[in-house]
């Protein structure tokens, strides 16, 4: 009888220790998540950094066209090396990215050779694919995204809506929480989204994974107050800057879109 009681109390003691350990770890993880969410909206640097490795996520249709227009007005010499990623079934987007890279005025300079790479990733869900079968493809996409993020480890992630960006942004956020790599995620919602965010934008907004989320219609700003309204996206009237000492005083954001 005494042995049974001693075994019982021993098991209870072990269970209490295990529960306390799980609660402690869970608390630390939640604190870290809250810190990452809070810190994501703050500038990372007090002075202009050097070059930044940049992951650019492309999508079929208008997503790539809008991203190319955005890249065309960026100071590309600040964002290198550049890694372009598109879905495995989307060859057209990478071709457009190659055309953009070949058209850069400084492409002939020796120091810029090899500053861009082009990759493909499995889709989480094809257009028209059932949600049941998309569970398996999403797991495959997450595994592939994990491998790519370990390989690339970007400092900046640029995306504007394709579903391809979700697994990559999820992995980047997990890396932040675990302290593996801090990747600043900047999401520019498509100009086609007038009344509500796309599914990708909504996920990044609700889960607070994007450091900065930009919308191009005032209705979206009213509906999603944490988003940054930049007006109708006319790339000829905007330039994208990394935070410098001057822009940090004017606006405490990591990324800033500024009227010319």
- Of 121, 126, 174, nearest to 148 by C-alpha is 121
pLDDT profile of the chain (260 residues), mean per 10? 54 68 79 76 66 91 87 85 91 91 68 75 72 75 90 93 88 91 90 89 92 90 89 44 37 39
Nearest to 157 by CA among 176, 145, 172: 172
User: Which pLDDT belongs to residue 192?
Assistant: 86
pLDDT at position 152: 92
Residue 86's pLDDT is 93
The per-residue pLDDT for 256 is 46
Q: How many CB atoms lie within 10 A of CB 38?
A: 10
Instruction: Give residue 253's pLDDT.
Output: 39
pTM of this prediction? Answer: 0.77
| CA gap 81, 155 in Å, rounded | 10
pLDDT of residue 137: 77
- Tokens, residue 237: 């009237």
User: What are the strands, taking DSSP E only, across the chain?
Assistant: 54-57, 82-87, 116-121, 156-159, 184-188, 212-215, 228-229, 238-242, 255-259
- pLDDT at residue 58, rounded to an integer: 94
């Amino acid at each position: 009888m005494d042995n049974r009681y001693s075994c019982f109390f021993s098991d209870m003691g072990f269970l209490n220790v295990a529960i306390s350990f799980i609660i402690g770890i869970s608390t630390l993880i939640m604190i870290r998540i809250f810190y990452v969410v809070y810190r994501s909206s703050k500038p990372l640097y007090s002075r202009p950094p050097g070059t930044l490795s940049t992951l650019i996520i492309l999508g079929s249709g208008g997503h790539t066209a809008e991203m190319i227009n955005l890249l065309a007005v960026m100071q590309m010499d600040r964002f290198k090396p550049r890694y372009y990623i598109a879905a495995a079934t989307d060859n057209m987007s990478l071709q457009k990215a190659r055309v953009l890279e070949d058209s850069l005025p400084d492409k002939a300079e020796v120091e810029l050779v090899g500053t861009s790479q082009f990759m493909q990733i499995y889709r989480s869900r094809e257009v028209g694919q059932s949600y049941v079968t998309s569970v398996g493809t999403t797991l495959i996409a997450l595994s592939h995204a994990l491998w790519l993020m370990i390989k690339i480890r970007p400092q900046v992630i640029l995306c504007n809506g394709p579903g391809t960006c979700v697994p990559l942004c999820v992995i980047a956020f997990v890396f932040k929480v675990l302290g593996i790599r801090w990747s600043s995620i900047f999401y520019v919602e498509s100009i086609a989204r007038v009344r509500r965010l796309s599914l990708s934008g909504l996920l990044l907004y609700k889960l607070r994974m994007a450091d900065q989320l930009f919308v191009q219609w005032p209705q979206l700003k009213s509906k999603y107050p944490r988003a940054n309204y930049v007006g109708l996206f006319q790339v000829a009237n905007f330039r994208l800057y990394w935070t410098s000492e001057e822009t940090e005083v004017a606006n405490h954001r990591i990324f800033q879109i500024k009227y010319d």
